[in-house]
Structures are given as C-alpha cells and as structure tokens.
C-alpha cells in the first residue's frame, strides 16, 4: 500500500469539507477536471453569488444588480477556496489551480 501524499490528504479534506457530491466529477469526465466547476457562495452582506471557476461565465436569465468590487473579490476568494486546498502552498504557476479564470454574478432573490 502506498503512503498518503499531501495532495491526497488535501483532496480528502476538501471532500469532507465540501461534501462528496459537490466535487465528484460528472459521469464521463476526467477526474483531472476538478479545477473547473460552478459554485454558489454567500458574501458578507447576505447576497448569494454564483461563480464559474475555469468555465465560461453564464449570467442569470433575470438581470441582477452588478456586484460591488468588494463583493466580487469576496465571492472570488470564497469560490476558489477548493483550488487552494487541492493545489497546496507550493504549486507551480500558472496552472488552472493557481491562476483560475473566475466569473461571478449575483443570483436573484
């Protein structure tokens, strides 16, 4: 049996923190695509924000007010937390883990 690697430990921690269903790859996709996902986060002021990480942005069908700069930055930080857990502190740069493309939109409601 091989010893656990730091990457495997981080992935395990991410699974338990986010729930297995949240980061399980879709059927027919490679597990290496764990750096591309859509996630809903809640910013400090209570808005729910949807972020596409390393995916094309998909704005909501119903127009919503734009995010302030502070809300956008907070949403991007929350949305990319999973990538920081997976890549670790000494990951090569740039990769989809360390230099992700993030697009965030406020959800109506």
pTM score of the predicted model:
0.69
Quick one: 66 exposed, middle or buried, by C-beta within 10 A (0-12, 13-18, 19+)? exposed
Q: Report pLDDT for 31.
A: 53
CA distance 28 to 81: 25
Helix (H) or strand (E) holding 21: helix 20-23
> Under 8 Å CB-to-CB from 83, ≥6 apart: which residues?
35, 53, 96, 97, 98, 100
> Under 8 Å CB-to-CB from 24, ≥6 apart: which residues?
none
Q: Domain locations in the chain?
A: 6-106
Q: Please give the chain's pLDDT, 109 residues, in tens.
A: 344 444 444 444 443 343 333 344 444 444 558 999 999 999 999 999 999 999 998 888 888 889 999 999 999 999 999 999 999 888 999 999 999 999 999 998 7
């Amino acid at each position: 049996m091989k010893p656990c690697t730091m990457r495997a430990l981080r992935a395990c921690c991410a699974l338990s923190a986010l729930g297995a269903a949240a980061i399980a790859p879709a059927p027919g996709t490679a597990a290496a695509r764990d750096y591309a996902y859509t996630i809903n986060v809640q910013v400090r002021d209570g808005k729910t924000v949807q972020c596409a990480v390393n995916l094309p942005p998909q704005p909501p069908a119903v127009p919503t007010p734009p995010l302030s700069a502070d809300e956008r930055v907070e949403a991007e930080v929350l949305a990319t937390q999973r990538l920081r857990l997976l890549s670790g502190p000494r990951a090569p740069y740039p990769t989809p883990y360390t230099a992700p493309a993030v697009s965030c939109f406020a959800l109506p409601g």
